[in-house]
């Protein structure tokens, strides 16, 4: 994330739903300590909620990882890209994923484009 910028995450629901109150209740629970912790324990290892409190997981290695840089209690760190150098890969990766989803490119072409972007980044350092 660029310096002096604040990170916000927007969670929303379909406002024409017949279950608006249920949606609000679910999102409030998901953003709570209990909901975020349960979600973190159910997600594949390495995916953690971006939440404004620290959490304790069952695996001591996960807790050690989460303790580095206070990933869940700082708005200056994006947990997907812990190292600032990798932030430059986010946009090309996002574009490649969207192109694969839309059928505009093959997974192999997307992987090749990511390798090109990573090689360019490596060359800078």
Q: For 20-70, what is each residue's pLDDT tens digit?
A: 999 999 999 988 989 988 888 887 776 777 777 777 888 888 787 777 655
Q: In the numeric block, which tokens belong to residue 43?
A: 């997600």
- Length of the chain in terms of residues written: 125
**Residue 75 pLDDT > 60, yes or no?**
no
Q: Where are the domains of the chain?
A: 1-80, 84-124
Mean pLDDT of 69-92: 61
CA distance 8 to 6: 7
**Residue 109 pLDDT > 90, yes or no?**
yes
Task: For the beta carbon of residue 35, count every other beta carbon within 10 angstroms.
Answer: 16
Burial class of residue 38 in the structure, from the number of CB atoms within 10 Å of its CB (0-12 exposed, 13-18 middle, 19+ buried):
middle
Q: In the numeric block, which tokens belong to residue 22?
A: 């249920």
79 or 124, greater pLDDT: 124
At residue 26, the 3 state secondary structure works out as helix
Nearest to 76 by CA among 9, 2, 18, 21: 2
Give the relative orientation of helices 33-42 and 20-30 as an angle to the nearest 10 degrees.
80
Q: For 4-23, what is each residue's pLDDT tens digit?
A: 666 556 677 888 889 999 99
């Amino acid at each position: 994330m660029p310096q002096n910028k604040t990170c916000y995450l927007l969670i929303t629901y379909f406002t024409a739903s017949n279950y608006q109150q249920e949606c609000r209740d679910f999102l409030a629970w998901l953003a709570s300590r209990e909901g975020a912790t349960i979600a973190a324990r159910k997600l594949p290892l390495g995916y953690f909620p971006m939440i404004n409190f620290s959490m304790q997981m069952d695996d001591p290695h996960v807790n050690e990882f989460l303790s580095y840089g206070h990933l869940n209690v700082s708005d200056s760190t994006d947990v997907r890209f812990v190292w600032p150098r990798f932030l430059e890969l986010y946009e090309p990766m996002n574009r490649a994923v969207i192109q694969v989803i839309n059928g505009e490119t093959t997974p192999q072409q997307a992987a090749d484009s990511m390798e090109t972007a990573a090689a360019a980044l490596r060359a800078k350092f």
